[in-house]
Chains A and B, each alone.
Chain A
């Protein structure tokens, strides 16, 4: 996944910089790792930066994280493009991450996905027109015992059915 031209343009339009309070939070994380392994803090640091910017990361924010951790910028891009929990383009207020990996698929995640798409009127990797929801297809969420599973912001919803999806979405609207 590479920043698309539009993505980069959007990223440039968003001028947000890493705040001092975010830097302080990152510094708190840094104390947990050995001095010479500052780069270990990149994952929490990116979460902090992302939370501060309505759920997504701009190139500027990633550069700020890199500079604050004193590591090469590309090393931060490598991490942020690797993990699906980081978003590099603007996202909706809520992120719906639905698992379609093996166990979930066998437990009919297809029906869950179909209902999500139908309700939200968007496809994977799209955001609703009102900017409320972004829909994501993700790999195993590690909760296979209760498949099918989706992660809504920070909450796991398990043993899903299309009806359950209606209810969950209904509560948010």
Chain B
């Protein structure tokens, strides 16, 4: 309900339960503040927001005073200004007045407000308090003498990050903000407290003292690491990226970004960036000019296409590539005459690819996740896959939603899970089928073609109870995480989740890896469909078959297969045996130097224009923040020239926006049939193997080539060295002890890893991370492994 109040002579209609400060903010009237933040609870401890309210004898804090009908507020009356000035004076009693040597200088709320509302000179001439700095880890620098105890950082931990690590220690004049025992912050969103801190107490550690706020230029960017598409402001100076901060977008990332999005930029200038084209001649790498390198690449491709067949060439791309890059890549391949193009590098199961919808999207907007009554999350760890989706799930939980986890590992979340079903990884399909059976029993009106499959399993009380909860919810959502998608029966799991949704009156959504998997599907970077879901006559090879077929030529876009692919050893073998491997890549790796023949240096996401389609289907285009380093070029330009040199039609783009426009126009052709999932269910579940199975996950800071090179991220407490984790029961069965090195082998290779006991893992399953040099030598990411004592 709206009521009328007056602020500074303006009559305003405001929400009944709002505070004066919210009403003022909405009307564009500035009230100074430190502790108040629209996304945090009200603390009202700084008193900077004092305003003059008619009929009140004292000034009142605007952040903690609810509006009432007919209220008259003055933010700039004599009383208000005097109050604000006095508060400012108190706040500065213990605050150092040395802005020139403070990293926050020039972007400091305290400095700004002191200038606007404080006195000209300090009357305080006694000793100031000093506070020892705290070590909060590799991301956040501290200067605790500057802290004004607004507690924004403390509230952020509890209310947003979901992990209380900072607190107010001590009391009165000896109050200090900190962790009490030295501790690096472990939240995946921790660095948002840098933006929240209104003073220079908490600052960006890698950026510290590297530039002043007024020296940097600001460009808009979109996160290139997960499917949320968080909006960024990229700050750069003299053509170098200095730091990344969030750009507010209420519908996507609100005012936050994950630490991965903020600090990945530290990996952009790593030593293994390639900035000149290179070719391998007689086993030796040579730096060459673009013309030479492109010539070698084109000639190689042409020879194989002509002497063998175009279908002997395979192209693989990262799902962090832009829409334009992916579109040109598939256009190039299809122009040469093959459909061998794919981006689903972490997926193991492609059986049901024809059944899926045009492109993976969420059935609701990201912002609406928090409005759901019930969310079932299957297979994965949302907090470390898409931190900001996890944040919405957490908010849904705070709003009273039921959140159910179905997982092979009883992972820890930063919210209380309402209910969970933990099953050994190979039994995941069985568990979902059983829930479907329970649903069809409880909801006999729902028709399904999967009756035979459903009859092949039995549903126990737990399955019945989960089914009941799903049917009882009005607004429910089923989400599939990375484990479910990469699972050896990932296709089937997706199908079963879809079945669950149709029997349970729910909707299903995939939380895809990378920033642009949705865009990759739309662009046609898949072997079985062209752009906008166009039918192709004869599907090309999927990732798995491209590796298994040991093709003579591979074209890799923004990819490091040894770290990025499901079956890294199979990939490495195929690449080593190939006659021609062309890498369009921003970085080179040791393995790449072995298998590649041509390295074409491409610009990473900050140095190119492009578009990402996020998981809610939103197109977000961006331009290059800085120009490409050295001789490297935006990959769309590289692919365009390759197209030209191969004399293919339709490669005459002058700007990347022309490609975007061409793709936009395709949205009109969308084959509506393919918007619908068309699953054909098997009559039986595949047999379960009784050996030891491996689950592979990509740790948050090993997820892609840029992130892996960010040293500050690698030094956080959530960046663990690779281990093989298993339950105590399994360890005992294998007579292994925690910490002991074991030999993990698959097919003909083996690696050594230390054992970690983790009783959250169900069944005869071991949990091994990917994205590490140590684990690259393994085969199938979901498959049997052998474990022996060293």
Residues in chain A within 8 A of chain B (CB atoms): 1-3, 8, 59, 72-75, 77-78, 81-83
Say if the beta carbon of B164 comes within 8 Å of chain A.
yes
Q: Which residue of A lies closest to B174 (CB)?
A: A1
Q: Which residue of A lies closest to B180 (CB)?
A: A77
In the complex, chain B residues whose CB is within 8 Å of the CB of A73: 181
- Bound together, the chains give a CA A140 to CA B178 distance in angstroms of 27
**Contact across chains for A1 and B181 when beta carbons are under 8 A apart:** no
**Contact across chains for A2 and B180 when beta carbons are under 8 A apart:** yes
In the complex, chain B residues whose CB is within 8 Å of the CB of A74: 164-167, 179-180
- Bound together, the chains give a CA A8 to CA B179 distance in angstroms of 13
CB distance from B682 to the nearest CB of A (A): 44
**Contact across chains for A75 and B167 when beta carbons are under 8 A apart:** yes
- Mark out the residues of chain B between 159 and 217 whose CB falls within 8 Å of any chain A CB in the assembled complex: 163-171, 174, 176, 178-181
Given A74-B179, A77-B180, A1 contacting B164 (CB threshold 8 A): no
- Bound together, the chains give a CA A2 to CA B170 distance in angstroms of 7
**Contact across chains for B170 and A1 when beta carbons are under 8 A apart:** yes
In the A-B complex, the 3 residue pairs with the closest CB atoms: A72-B164, A77-B180, A74-B167
In the complex, chain A residues whose CB is within 8 Å of the CB of B170: 1-2, 81-82
Say if the beta carbon of B121 comes within 8 Å of chain A.
no
- Bound together, the chains give a CA A62 to CA B163 distance in angstroms of 18
CB distance from B322 to the nearest CB of A (A): 41
Q: Which residue of A lies closest to B163 (CB)?
A: A72
**Contact across chains for A78 and B132 when beta carbons are under 8 A apart:** no
Interface size on B, as a range, is 10 to 19
CB distance from A130 to the nearest CB of B (A): 29
- Bound together, the chains give a CA A77 to CA B182 distance in angstroms of 12
Besides the contacts A77-B169, A78-B169, what 20 more A-B pairs have beta carbons closer than 8 Å?
Answer: A1-B174, A2-B132, A2-B176, A2-B180, A3-B180, A59-B180, A72-B158, A72-B163, A72-B164, A73-B181, A74-B167, A74-B179, A74-B180, A75-B164, A75-B167, A77-B167, A81-B169, A81-B170, A82-B170, A83-B171
Q: Which residue of B lies closest to A84 (CB)?
A: B171
Given A82-B170, A82-B171, A3 contacting B165 (CB threshold 8 A): no
**Contact across chains for B178 and A78 when beta carbons are under 8 A apart:** no
- Bound together, the chains give a CA A77 to CA B176 distance in angstroms of 12
**Contact across chains for A81 and B180 when beta carbons are under 8 A apart:** yes
**Contact across chains for B171 and A81 when beta carbons are under 8 A apart:** yes
In the complex, chain A residues whose CB is within 8 Å of the CB of B181: 3, 8, 59, 73, 77
CB distance from B117 to the nearest CB of A (A): 31
CB distance from A110 to the nearest CB of B (A): 21
In the complex, chain A residues whose CB is within 8 Å of the CB of B166: 74
Contacts A/B (CB < 8 Å), 26 sampled = A1-B170, A1-B171, A2-B169, A2-B176, A2-B180, A3-B180, A3-B181, A8-B181, A59-B180, A59-B181, A72-B163, A72-B164, A72-B165, A72-B167, A73-B181, A74-B164, A74-B167, A74-B179, A74-B180, A75-B167, A77-B180, A77-B181, A78-B167, A78-B168, A81-B170, A82-B170
Q: Which residue of A lies closest to B168 (CB)?
A: A78
CB distance from A78 to the nearest CB of B (A): 4
- Bound together, the chains give a CA A18 to CA B163 distance in angstroms of 24
In the complex, chain B residues whose CB is within 8 Å of the CB of A77: 167, 169, 180-181
In the complex, chain B residues whose CB is within 8 Å of the CB of A3: 180-181
- Bound together, the chains give a CA A72 to CA B183 distance in angstroms of 13
CB distance from B715 to the nearest CB of A (A): 22
- Bound together, the chains give a CA A83 to CA B170 distance in angstroms of 8
Contact with A along B134-178 (1 / 0, CB 8 A): 000000000000000000000000100001111111110010101
